[in-house]
Structures are given as structure tokens and as C-alpha cells.
Structure 1
């Protein structure tokens, strides 16, 4: 019988189980390049799983059965004497670590069958995207630019910041697409931009009048001075040294504008570049756009991904109905 660990967290797993986990964690470190924090979470999740196997008398991963994996997933949600119950999202993450271990063991020939294959992890509740309303977007965009910063019309960085945020909201671009856009990708006469999305897919999207105006002001009155400070770059948005603007800097610009506009910058509803993308899609659908058109504009490979935004609009309709209809509440 396995000895109980001094921590009281359950029996100490057999060496064969420990070796399997070490091999998997080494694989994640070398082949996947996971961060130290992520690896620490995996190590913790897998240690709990191994102790559960050890308590059931399993000493080798090849002896683990689907019932052992299912029982572990059930314990994650229900809790036990040493661990509180986990929320669905946390339990799903822990179950994912276990499934990854078993898949790795099959690939490496350590086991013949993936005992976790048919065990479904908990499904986290779908959280509807946080979308700003039109007034909030207006407040956010009005909170950045030369006038908002108390600077003159030639202030380069405020002009850039306003153009960046107008571009994100006016095109629905991902942050990577915005900071990666080249000047040659813009056609401000026709009012279009080429966005280079995931999987090498490129799409043309309209640029609204406000975004086009902000881009013209930035490209003519600010960008030349910024680029002159460095070696030059083809990208639209540059930093103060003339190099490409990083994603982190774009986040900082948005957070600064959100704080100025009195919008949340921390917590689950914190404004992020993706918030503007959510808002773009939601406002299009609220305005009557077809979901297939929005799919093309967002660059989603499947309309299923886009349909989450229809849930947002239905939820808003429900709220309006509940407050406005005289017989909505019984």
C-alpha cells in the first residue's frame, strides 16, 4: 500500500507515474515553450490526479481506466477533503492537463490506449462578450487626440492614438491586424483596408468616415515626423522612435483612453482591444447587418464563431423589453 504524503494530500504516487508526468512536463517546456506559471499550474493539476490514481491502487499510467479519469473530473467539481470544489472553467483546465498527459503517453508508446479519450471535461458557461454601447465608444474615442490631451494640432502621439482607436473600432480589426497593417494596405480614397488575419487569410474591410479622417490627420501631420526619428517602417502605426508599434503599447494607449473616459480598466469587464472588436460586431448586428456579412468583416472562418454576437444582441433586446414593455413583469 502506498504511503500517505506528509502533507495529508493523499498517497504518494508510484515512481512510474511520476516519470510519466516529468516526461510530459519536459515536453511542454521544450516543444511547446509554455511559461513557468502555466507549467506550475499543470504540475499542480497533475499531482492531484496522480494522488487520486495512487489512492485507487494504480501504480502505472497504463493501468489507468476511463473510470479513473471520470472519477477525477467528478472530484474536481465536487471537491474533497483536501480541495474545495472548482468552478467549471478551473475544472476544465485541470481536466485538460490530464487529457494532455494521456495523449502524450500514447504518442510516446508509454501506454496503448488513451484512457481519457471519451471522458468529457466540464463545459464552462459561455460568457457573453462585453460590448460598449455607442455612447461609451464615443466617450472613449473623444478621450484621445490633440484636443483631449490639451496639445496643439501637430502633436504626433495623440494623433496616432486617436487614429489607432478609430481604426480598431471602425474596422473591427484584431490588435495584431492593426499593428501589422502597412500604409500600402490602406486606400483612404475608396475607404478600405486590407487586414492580414489568422491562418494567412487576408480580407478587405470598409473604413468608416471618422476612422478615415483620423488616419488622414495622423498620416499627414504625425507619422512623417515619427518615422524620421528612426529608420522607417512600412507599418501604419509607429512608436516614438519610428519603429513598429507593439501590441503591448497599443494596449497601453487603449487603457489610458479608457481610464480617461471613466471606463473599467481592471476586472472581467476591463476595456481591451477585443472590446472594440466586440462592440463593432454588436453595433453592426444591432443596426440590421446580416450575420454572414459580419462574419466576413470579422474574418471568422465559421459563422458559428460570429453567432455569439447574436446572443449579445438578443440579450440587449431582452433587457429593453423587460424595462419598456408594460406587461413584461408579472
Structure 2
């Protein structure tokens, strides 16, 4: 069983190109399923013991333990991935996971900034960088690029110097599933990046820096946790409190693009969504914002 799990892990990481976090989650779900079926440890179970009744019993136990609908949906997806792999690997004669039905997830509307809140945050970051402090220059470039491009925080931290094309004002991003895409950014972000490279990065660079675009205080590649803290700190300087993180800036960028007239397919490409259904969530956000404005301003709302 240990060998089977190791082969499954290689499949997830190398063939599916899933992130290390997702691999750990899916592998943990496989172990949890086998433990449930064996009643003790995965070493006492075999993949051949996985059947529809066992899968349903495992999910029922998760529900009884208080797992949310979102968690149950993810674990159902993990079970389907595991059984599909087991069939292809010749360890299971029938893909029982195909007959599983997952509970519908609650689709929550993302929290977004108003344009004036985003502007105030970026102006606060610019004011903090006026003394050319290296960390302040980096922080300004980080928030400007996150909002300008809508990239994920991990994608931003993974950028190298060569990934920025200033002549076209675009960055080359390696997203989920190792999918590469090109994302544009505007003049304010370009200005912040150039100031960071001209006056900030050289003060932090070390032997650990290599070609990383953004650096931590000790010279290594900027860690996503640090980038999250940077965004929260910048948002804390806004007079009208609107605490949010990098994902909030991503949501805000998408919403403001749609409100400005961008089409859904373009926003999907910019954000790197695998399916249009994910991007369509932002249309609900813009409708809610339009309704709120209508209720507040129309004399017969």
C-alpha cells in the first residue's frame, strides 16, 4: 500500500502538475479513505477494497464529523481522482468514483475594494516609499503589480527579473498546472517596479537572490506570507478601513475590469482561470454593486 500511495503521489505531482499543497491534500484524503475502509491503518487495506459503498460511507463519516459542504465537495473530487488513477494503474477494475455525487458548494461573493479605496491604498504605499527605503519601495511595487495585473500572490513571488518586459509592459506568469500566460500592467506599476529595481533591490540583494524579482529583507526570494503581510499593512493605512489581502486585490482588479467594460473571456485569460465558470463569479459581484448604487442614488429605487 505504501508503494501504491507513492505512485499516486508521483502521478499527482508529475502527470497532473498539481501544486505541493494540493498533492498533500489529495494524498491525505486517499490515506483517510483507506484508513476508514480498513478500520485501522492504510497498511491493512488494499485499493481493491474501494467500492461505492465504502466511498459513500467515508463521505458520510466526514459529514457526521462536521465537514463543510466545500470540504465534502473537495474530498469527493479527491476520491474521484484516486479511483480514476487506480483504474488506469490496473489496481481497480471499476471506477466507482464516477458514481459519487458531490454537494453543491456555497458560492460566496468575494470581498472587493471600491476604486477609491484601491486608489487610497496605492497612494499610501507611494507616500511610504518617498524616502527610497528599500523595503518600502518593494512593498509599493508589490501592491501596484498585484492590483494592476490581478496575479496570484504565489505567481507574483515566483517572478524573475527576465519575466518582466518593459517595452510591452507585460509579465510572464507561471500559473496553476504550470500554465504560462502573459499579463499586462499599467504605467503606475511600471514606475513602481523601476524605482524598486533602481533604488531598492540592490540594497537587499545577496547570494540567495539569484534572479528573483522581489526579495525579502534577508535577500532571498519574497515569501508569499510576507507579501500577504505587506498588503494587509498597506490596507491598514487607508482611512476608510477595508482590510484585505493579495486575493482581495485580485478580486478587486477583476471586478474593476468588468465594471470598466472588459469582456469575461479577457478577464478569464488575465486571471488564468481554467474555466469560465470561475470568472463568472465576478459578474455577480458587479451586479450586486450596480444594484447597491441604484438603490442609493435612483429617486425611485
TM-score by length of 1: 0.68
Matching residue of 1:287: 260
**Could you say if the C-alpha distance between residues 187 and 121 of structure 1 is closer, same or farther in structure 2, counting changes exceeding 3 Å?**
closer
Which residues of 2 match residues 257-268 of structure 1 at below 5 A?
Answer: 257-261=234-238, 262-264=241-243
The gaps in structure 2 that reach 5 residues or longer are 14-19, 40-44
Contact 2:149/2:183 (CA < 8 Å) preserved in 1?
A: no
Partner of 1:240, secondary structure, is coil
Q: Secondary structure at the match of 2:125?
A: coil
Alignment check: 8 A CA contact 2:69 2:106 kept: yes
Q: Could you list the runs of 5+ residues in structure 1 that have no partner in the other structure?
A: 1-19, 52-58, 265-270
The change in CA–CA distance for 1:169 and 1:43 in structure 2 (over 3 A counts) is same
SS at match of 1:314: helix
Rg comparison, structure with higher value:
1
Match of residue 144, structure 1, among 125, 128, 153: 125
SS of the equivalent of 1:116 reads helix
Residues of 1 paired with 2:107 and 2:100: CA distance?
20
SS of the counterpart of 2:97?
coil
C-alpha change, 1:29 and 1:302, in structure 2 (3 Å) is: closer
Q: Per the alignment, do residues 317 and 106 of structure 1 end up closer, same or farther by CA in structure 2, a change over 3 Å counting?
A: same
Post-superposition CA distance 1:228-277 (Å, at most 9, x none): x547643332233444323333223223323444443xxxxxx3322212
* CA RMSD, 1 decimal: 3.8
Bigger share in helix? 2
- Establish whether residue 203 from structure 1 lines up as the match of residue 182 from structure 2: yes
After TM superposition, the structure 1 = structure 2 runs for residues 1-330 of structure 1, keeping only pairs within 5 Å, are: 38=25, 43-44=31-32, 47-48=35-36, 66=52, 69-70=55-56, 73=59, 75=60, 83=64, 86-100=67-81, 102-103=83-84, 105-107=86-88, 109-145=90-126, 147-148=127-128, 153-188=131-166, 190=167, 192-198=169-175, 199-205=178-184, 207-227=185-205, 229-230=206-207, 233-261=210-238, 262-264=241-243, 271-300=244-273, 302-325=275-298, 327-328=300-301
TM-score normalised to the size of structure 2? 0.74
Q: Is the 8 A contact 2:147 2:252 kept in 1?
A: yes
Greater relative CO, 1 or 2 (CA 8 Å, sep 6+): 2
Name the residue aligned to 2:17.
Answer: none
